[in-house]
């Protein structure tokens, strides 16, 4: 049965301009610069740089809220009003000069596989062995390991290269690879990788013991069962300690130093600069986030050309196209200004909340702070603060920090004071750094030590903080 009925429903929708602003806010400096270049390329009505015009009369001041602008209509007069100084011509001068117009270098170099293949020419080997060795080098992973089974590799060479390879030829080519630099490449597992590196070192009792430990007792070594190693290899503690020190200095991933050379180097460009002078804290926005933009004068003149007279249909289409581009330029320039304002307001709120930390640089002075605290302070939505905190960096006197690192949950100590979980993590790290490595602290013992300092923390919470600090369990921290 069909029925007709009326229903009222309230819904909140983001305008295209609001969506544009949110996307711009979450971009870090480098990504913002790329987005700016893209917009300038796609919109011929938008130009970069400061341009002095005879009649700066394109925009009226736009002070309404975003939701009010959603219903704005396009008309010719809105592009022809007289303003002495339009908003888009004003820029702030509180940005450090050194952050402007910096060129970003790009790294280029030899890849890991190219580095290895270039060394093959130094060996007196047959063309067949060279081809096998070259194929095996191409099969190495970024760590320098040959992970695929020998049979599969031989089958692949027969299928893809029409190269029938005997097992002896395969082993000969692999031995050549084992002689290449860096030492340890071509290993099929970590034990073989470490042994290959030890064989490059001068013979000594400690070196021989180190190879024996890796070859015959790798599981005992990885689990740090030192007493069992002493008993099995019939050695004394000093010699075992020297052997273990040799092993610890080896590189378990010989190809890692070349792993990223074929990719563009990633650089962190701080979005803010924090300056501390005695008890004064100054927040500066990176000047690259405050570009000078203006609207193309030729597009403004084009609008004026069609203002008088009765335009044809083709001229009307042209005027509509120009209006769209001018409107897009207006919104983009306005969104950039709002982005700058939002970034500065958010960063200032963070600095005000964490003033003690920025004055001292001691992480134990970080107060509990969540996104909601900053959102309430600046009267913005939590999602806006999240977009700023998750992708922006600040250059502080204590290093370049991700804004997210200034946030932490809260807990109450024995005196009833609210403290940051960052403070607890700092204490956990301090306890582990100063522990006796021959008998490292367990998570339970760390919990007891924290309780003695006035922080009641469960063992599972200690384990969580330790894992977040990327610190291993007590057994793996043990040393002779």
Report the alpha-carbon distance of residue 300 to residue 294 in Å, rounded: 11
How far CA 468 is from CA of 402, 423, 428, in Å, comes to 16, 13, 11
Nearest residue to 210 (alpha-carbon basis) of 227, 194, 192, 186: 194
Q: What contacts 369, CB < 8 A, 6 or more positions away? A: 350, 353, 354, 406, 407, 408, 420
As a whole number of angstroms, the distance between CA 273 and CA 393 comes to 9
Instruction: List the one residue out of 345, 344, 342 whose CA is nearest residue 334.
Output: 342
Return the pLDDT at 50.
64
Secondary structure of 298-352 in HEC code, one letter for each residue: HHHHHHHHCCCCCCCHHHHHHHHHHHHHHHHHHHHHHHHHHHHHHHHHHHHHHHH
Which pLDDT belongs to residue 197? 92
Q: Which helix (H) or strand (E) holds 228?
A: helix 226-233
Of the candidates 410, 409, 413, the residue with the CA atom closest to the CA atom of residue 454:
413
Residue with tokens 């083709």: 314
First to last CA, the chain: 83
Tokens describing residue 368: 């509990």
Contact assessment for residue 194 and residue 252, using Cβ atoms and an 8 Å cutoff: yes
Q: Could you report the average pLDDT of every consecutive run of 10 residues in the chain (480 residues)?
A: 66 64 83 86 78 43 38 42 41 45 53 87 90 91 90 90 90 93 91 92 90 90 87 90 89 76 64 90 87 75 64 71 81 87 92 91 83 91 87 89 83 65 83 86 88 83 86 80
Going from the N-terminus, what domains does the chain have, and what CATH number goes with each? 16-96+287-358 (no CATH), 112-258 (no CATH), 412-477 (1.10.10.60)
* Contact call for residues 408 and 400 (beta carbons, < 8 A): no
Angle at 458 between CA 453 and CA 459, to 5 degrees: 105
Q: Read off the DSSP letter of residue 288.
A: G
The string of DSSP codes covering 101-138 is: SPPPP------HHHHHHHHHTTS---HHHHHHHHHHHH
Largest CA distance in the chain: 105
Residue 402: phi, psi to the nearest 5?
Answer: -75, 135
Nearest Cα to Cα of residue 386 among 399, 370, 366, 400? 370
Residue recorded with tokens 């304002």: 341
Q: Which residue(s) pair with 369 in the sheet?
A: 408
For residue range 84-101, what is the model confidence (pLDDT) as tens digits? 444 444 444 444 444 444
CA dihedral 137, 141, 143, 144 (to 10 degrees): -20
Please tell me the predicted confidence (pLDDT) of residue 193: 92
CA distance 290 to 284: 11
The β-bridge partners of 181 are: none
Q: Under a CB-based contact definition with an 8 Å cutoff, are residues 80 and 304 in contact?
A: yes
Q: Per-residue b/e over 213-245, b at no fewer than 16 CB within 10 Å?
A: bbeeeeebbeebbbeebeeebebeeebbebbbe
DSSP structural state of residue 458: -
Strand partners for 280: 277
Q: 240 and 480 in contact (C-beta within 8 Å)?
A: yes
């Amino acid at each position: 049965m069909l029925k007709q009925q009326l229903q009222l429903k309230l819904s909140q929708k983001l305008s295209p301009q609001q969506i544009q602003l949110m996307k711009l806010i979450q971009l870090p400096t480098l990504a913002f610069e790329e987005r700016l270049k893209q917009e300038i390329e796609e919109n011929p009505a938008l130009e970069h740089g400061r341009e002095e015009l005879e009649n700066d009369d394109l925009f009226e001041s736009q002070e309404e809220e975003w939701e009010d602008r959603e219903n704005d209509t396009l008309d010719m007069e809105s592009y022809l009003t007289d303003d002495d100084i339009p908003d888009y011509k004003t820029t702030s001068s509180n940005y450090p000069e050194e952050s402007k117009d910096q060129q970003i270098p790009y790294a280029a170099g030899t890849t890991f596989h190219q580095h290895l293949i270039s060394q093959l020419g130094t060996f007196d080997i047959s063309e067949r062995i060279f081809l096998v060795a070259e194929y095996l080098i191409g099969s190495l992973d970024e760590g320098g390991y040959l992970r695929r089974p020998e049979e599969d590799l031989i089958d692949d060479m027969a299928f893809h290269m029409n190269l029938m390879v005997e097992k002896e030829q395969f082993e000969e080519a692999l031995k050549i690879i084992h002689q290449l630099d860096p030492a340890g490449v071509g290993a099929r597992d970590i034990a073989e990788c470490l042994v290959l590196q030890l064989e490059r070192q001068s013979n000594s009792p400690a070196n021989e013991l180190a190879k024996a430990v890796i070859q015959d007792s790798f599981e005992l070594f990885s689990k740090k069962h030192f007493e069992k190693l002493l008993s099995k290899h019939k050695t004394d503690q000093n010699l075992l300690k020297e052997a273990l020190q040799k092993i610890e200095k080896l590189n378990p991933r010989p190809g890692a130093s070349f792993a990223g050379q074929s990719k563009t180097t990633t650089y962190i460009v701080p979005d803010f600069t924090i300056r501390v002078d005695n008890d004064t804290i100054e927040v500066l926005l990176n000047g690259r986030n405050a570009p000078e933009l203006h609207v193309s004068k030729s597009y403004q003149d084009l609008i004026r050309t069609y203002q008088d007279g009765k335009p044809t249909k083709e001229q009307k289409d042209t005027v509509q196209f120009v209006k769209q581009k001018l409107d897009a330029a207006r919104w983009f320039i306005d969104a950039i200004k709002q982005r700058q304002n939002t970034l500065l307001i958010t960063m200032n709120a963070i600095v005000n909340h964490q003033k003690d930390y920025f004055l001292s640089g001691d992480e134990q002075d970080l107060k509990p702070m969540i996104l909601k605290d900053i959102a309430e302070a600046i009267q913005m939505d939590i999602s806006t603060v999240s977009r700023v905190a998750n992708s922006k960096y600040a250059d502080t006197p204590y290093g370049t920090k991700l804004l997210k690192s200034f946030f932490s949950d809260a807990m109450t100590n024995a005196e009833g004071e609210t403290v940051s979980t960052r403070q607890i993590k700092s204490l956990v790290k301090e306890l582990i750094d100063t522990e006796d490595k021959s008998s490292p602290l367990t998570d339970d013992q760390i919990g007891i030590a924290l309780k003695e300092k006035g922080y009641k923390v469960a063992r599972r919470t200690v384990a969580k903080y330790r894992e977040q600090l990327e610190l291993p369990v007590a057994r793996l921290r043990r040393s002779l």
